[in-house]
Amino acid sequence: MADPSAMDQARPSVPRASDPARATALLEALPSAAAFFLRSGALYAVNTLGREWFVVDARAPLPSQSWSVVLLPLGAAAAALLAGVAAGDAPTTQTLPLNRERRAAGVRVVDVRAVAFDEELLLLTATDATARDDQQTAAARVDRELSALLTLTPATVRITDVTGRIVQSNAHADLEHPTHPPATVRALWELEAPHDIANNRPLSFLDAPAMRALAGHVVRQQRLEVRRLGAQRVIESFAAPFRNERQEVVGAVLLDLDVTDRQRLERQVQERAGREAALLEQVSHERAQLEHLVEERSRALAAVQEDNLRERRLAAVGQLAAGVMHDVNNALNPIMAAAYLLRHHAESPDAVRDYADRIQKAAEIGAATASRVGRFIRQQPVHAGGDEALDLSALADDVLDLTEPMRLRRSSESGEIHIVRQFEPTVSTRGLPGEIREALLNLVQNAVDAMPEGGTLTARTFTEGSDACVSIRDTGVGMSAEVRERAFEPFFTTKGSKGSGLGLAEVYGIARRHRGTATMSSVPGRGTEVTLRLPRAVSEEPVDTTAHVAPPVVASQRILVVEDHDDGREFLRRILQADGHRVDAVGTCADAREKLACSEGTPYDLMLTDVGLPDGSGWDLVQHVRRTVPAVRVGVLTGWEPLADTGESHGAEFVLRKPLRAAELQAHIAGRAVPASTTE
């Protein structure tokens, strides 16, 4: 940038009127926008940069243009500078915005200077000062940001110049030595008397972090003991040099963190870790001895528990067998009596029919007992189509009526048992009424047993989403968490010799077989609640199972019976022939395949097969029929409780459980279905 004062001292004589070209050449040599004005205000000469920045009409003569117009981009201040110099004021410089052109970063800023060039001419120069102004703005912003950073930093921060003078510090640094704030790094070293903890020696001045940083080194996390506010503190010191564009060190930044409390905690943690390690070693030794002792005792205890468990299982199985034997004997007794009377009254058709009906009902009761035991063991769902519409509210009400004598007897012996009925109207589901009734009887019996001193038994039915629910709640002794977790396990009981451990297990099995759940909540001393949730169904009228169902009228069919039991095969053949069907009966899979292969002239309409055959499975025979003669209908007869999806998974049209009910078999042959026996 040209020095305005130098131009003031060296002002060559410029002829005003005769040599404006020489004046213009002089102005072109200047690095600034420049112009000569007559004291009258007329423009005399202007350089190229001045034509860009000022308002100069290239088509009009220069003397016709006044400084009030030419200097409009600099505002009125530039014209005022010239007017002052023309009036005899001393040369002066002002920084003004140049409004003629705008940059992306803002308006250009220029230094404007006006001087009296000679007796007739005034010189005005405008030098670009934008870069200098931007640098000053950036420096001010950096200073503000650095000041804010130093204020927010939780550590002690000091900045020095290359001589070691502290030029800036934050509030944390000012608080450390409030009465004698150090001005230099030497004064700081003398005040704090640092001690090198790692090497256990006083730290010399030249080894101080500040001096090492001024020597061009970076110090990271040097732990020192220093004197501050009359006490010894432990700090972690950091230092780094400042360098200019020529990579010369021009200062340093010092930062330290007070870690006195952290070091004390670290020492405490180390001491505690040492104590814990010693204790752990002692515990490990004692644990090894204890484990050896426990292992010996566990083997002995396991042997005793296994013996006790075996005895409990045998006792439970014996109780289960006794119950089954009781029910089966009750079913066999009328069968044997009716068979005896049937022989002695063979001449009376009415007596024969009566005894035959009694035999059938007794056999169905025995079959239902076997079915319940089988389903309890196998936990299989109730066969689809073998259930009926049920109202849980009506069933629960019936169970409470049935158990009323038991409750009255218990109330007379101990405290009174109050009954609360909370039934919603018609809570509908589908299932076997005998099993649901048996589950509710078990729950009511358990609730009464849980209240030896009396209490309140609440029976509630309700719907919840897609579930039909019934719950039995008592205010008895309740269960612990361990007992509650095992309550549904078979053979688990808390009643000692008075219980078999099958009651709640059977409740759980009945809920599972009906595609539902059984849940329990219990609090010791406050009572227990068991809730059965079964799939909700649209309310249906109950089936009248006492009405006589006439056998359906069926056209004569050709039927293949596959049954390995001789009597069973013969009786089934006679029943079907009595209904007018043409029947072939065989006892093996091979004979059945041979009959099917030879029946092309007169094909079979239906095949009835047992599952357990001497030379294979009835399910394999079903698949054989599906592949070779798909037009033949297939029915399966089994002594096991059928699975709900057996027909779909194996290809059979229907599955019936033995012993067969003639009416049910006839209905399936006719392509219909009937409800299952209510004895189940």
CATH of the domain at 414: 3.30.565.10
Q: Residue 9 pLDDT more than 70?
A: no
Residue 2: its pLDDT value, please? 44
% of the chain at pLDDT higher than 70 = 77
Give, in order, the Cα–Cα distances in Å from 585 to each of 470, 621, 625: 48, 15, 16
Residue 145: C-alpha distances to residues 131, 139, 140, 148, 239 (Å): 21, 10, 9, 5, 20
What pLDDT shows up at residue 628? 87
Average pLDDT over residues 205-232: 91
pLDDT of residue 471: 95
Give the model's pLDDT for residue 43.
Answer: 93
* Residue at a domain's end among 242, 258, 274: 258
pLDDT at site 311 = 65
CA angle centred on 395, ends 389 and 398, rounded to 5°: 145
pLDDT at position 542 over 50? no
Using 50, 70 and 90 to split pLDDT, how confident is the model at 47? very high
Q: What are the pLDDT digits (tens) for 486-504?
A: 878 776 666 655 555 567 8
The CATH number that applies at residue 564 is 3.40.50.2300
Question: Do residues 34 and 69 both lie within one domain?
Answer: yes
Report d(CA 206, CA 220) in Å as an integer: 16
CA 508 to chain centre: 30
* Residues 32 and 127 both lie in one domain: yes
Q: What is the pLDDT of residue 225?
A: 92
pLDDT of residue 667: 83
- Mean pLDDT in residue range 32-36: 93
| Domain endpoint, select from 258, 278, 296 | 258
Span 265-277, average pLDDT:
86
User: Nearest-5° angle of CA 113, CA 116, CA 120?
Assistant: 135
Residue 377 forms part of a structural domain: no
- Across the range 254-275, mean pLDDT stands at 86
pLDDT(272) > 70: yes
pLDDT at 14: 42
Has residue 591 got a pLDDT over 70? yes
Indicate whether 411 pLDDT > 80. no
- Report the pLDDT value the prediction gives residue 544, as an integer from 0 to 100: 46
514 and 573: one domain? no
In this structure, is residue 88 part of a structural domain? yes
Q: How confident is the model over 297-344, as pLDDT tens digits?
A: 888 888 887 777 666 655 555 555 555 554 565 556 567 666 767 777
Q: Which of 134, 165, 198 is the last residue of a domain?
A: 134
pTM for this structure? 0.37
Evaluate if residue 200 carries a pLDDT over 80: yes
Residues 394 and 529 in one domain: yes
> 6-20, 134-148, 607-621 — which is least confidently predicted?
6-20
Least confident segment among 111-115, 396-400, 552-556 = 552-556
Backbone angles phi, psi at 115, to 5 degrees: -135, 160
Examine residue 480 and state whether it is found in any structural domain, yes or no: yes
For a pLDDT cut of 90, what percent of the chain falls above it?
24
Whether the predicted pLDDT of 480 surpasses 70: yes
Number of H helices, E strands in the chain: 21, 26
Comparing 329 with 277, the larger pLDDT belongs to: 277
Which pLDDT belongs to residue 501? 55
Question: Is 194 part of any domain?
Answer: yes
Gap between the Cα atoms of 46 and 37, Å rounded? 9
Contact 14, 117 (CB under 8 A): yes
- 427 with 409, same domain: the answer is yes
Residue 38, pLDDT above cutoff 90: yes
348 with 424, same domain: the answer is no
Q: What is the pLDDT of residue 321?
A: 59
Say how many domains are in the chain.
Answer: 5
Evaluate if residue 55 carries a pLDDT over 80. Answer: yes
Are 431 and 514 spatial neighbours (Cβ–Cβ below 8 Å)? yes
Of the listed ranges 332-341, 403-412, 570-579, the one predicted with least confidence: 332-341
Q: What is the mean pLDDT of residues 472-477?
A: 92
Of 302, 309, 312, nearest to 495 by C-alpha is 312
Residue 6 pLDDT level (bands cut at 50, 70, 90): very low
pLDDT above 80 for 595: yes
Q: What is the CATH number of the domain that holds 72?
A: 3.30.450.20
Same domain membership, residue 351 and residue 408? no
- Which of 536, 396, 393, 517 is closest to 468 using CA atoms? 536
pLDDT of 12: 43
Decide: 533 and 519 in contact? Cβ < 8 Å: yes
- Do the beta carbons of residue 256 and residue 236 sit within 8 Å? yes
- What 3-state class would DSSP assign to 109? strand
In a domain, 367, yes or no: no
* Residue 419, domain extent: 388-535
400 and 526 in one domain? yes
**Same domain for 291 and 345:** yes
| Average pLDDT, integer, range 658-669 | 79
User: What is the per-residue pLDDT across 356-406, written as a single tens digit (0 to 9) for each?
Assistant: 776 776 676 566 566 656 655 555 555 555 568 889 999 999 888 877 777
Q: Is residue 338 located within the same domain as residue 321?
A: yes
**Residue 369 within any structural domain of the chain:** no
Four-CA torsion 590, 594, 595, 598, nearest 10 degrees: 170
**Whether 244 and 208 share a structural domain:** yes
Provide the pLDDT for residue 309: 63
Compute the distance between CA of residue 89 and CA of residue 357 in angstroms, rounded to an integer.
143
Six token digits for residue 165: 């003078």
The answer to the question of residue 68 being in a domain is yes
Q: Is the pLDDT of residue 283 over 70?
A: yes
Q: Which of 20-34, 413-427, 535-549 has the lowest mean pLDDT?
A: 535-549
> What mean pLDDT value characterizes the chain?
80
The owner of tokens 């061009």 is 216
- Assign residue 382 a region (left: φ > 0; alpha: ψ between -120 and 50; beta: otherwise): beta
User: In this predicted structure, what is the pLDDT of residue 415?
Assistant: 75
Beta pairing, strands 517-523 & 455-464: unpaired
Q: What is the mean pLDDT of residues 288-292?
A: 86
**Residue 172 — very low, low, confident or very high, per pLDDT cuts 50/70/90?**
confident
Give the SS3 label for residue 536: strand
**98 part of a folded domain:** yes
Least confident of 153-167, 382-396, 447-461: 382-396
pLDDT at 677: 47
Both 435 and 572 in one domain: the answer is no
Whole-number Å distance between alpha carbons of 58 and 642: 113
